[in-house]
Amino acid sequence: MTVTIGDIAFDNVSYDADADVLYLHVGEPSSAVDFDESPEGHHLRFDASGNLVGVTIVGAKWLLDNQRRIEITVPERLAIEPDALGPILTRLD
């Protein structure tokens, strides 16, 4: 399954329902060489060229249930609407 946020297609997607943590990555997570945190508290991973290649969202299902979407600033603000993640969170519960 692929999740597209902005113009980035994350093709490595996993969800830990017990911890409510969503992991999104382009390719293998080992490609990340730099790490940062978005203003919203999401964990960001970048490749050697500075491209965003991974996002870890703690409380993903909670955010969708309570805020109706997830926002990530990297540096522009990207929004994840419920229809993009709802099936993933439900399917992986």
Per-residue model confidence as pLDDT tens digits over 63-93: 999 988 898 887 666 667 777 776 666 654 4
pLDDT > 90? residue 49: no
Token pair, residue 10, equals 């994350």
Rounded to an integer, the average pLDDT of 41-60 is: 92
pLDDT of residue 91: 54
pLDDT > 70? residue 33: yes
pLDDT of residue 48: 87
Mapping DSSP to helix (H, G, I), strand (E, B) and coil, where does residue 65 land?
A: helix
Cβ neighbour number for residue 13 with a 10 Å cutoff: 15
Distances in Å between the alpha carbon of 66 and those of 17, 61, 77, 82, 90? 16, 8, 19, 11, 16
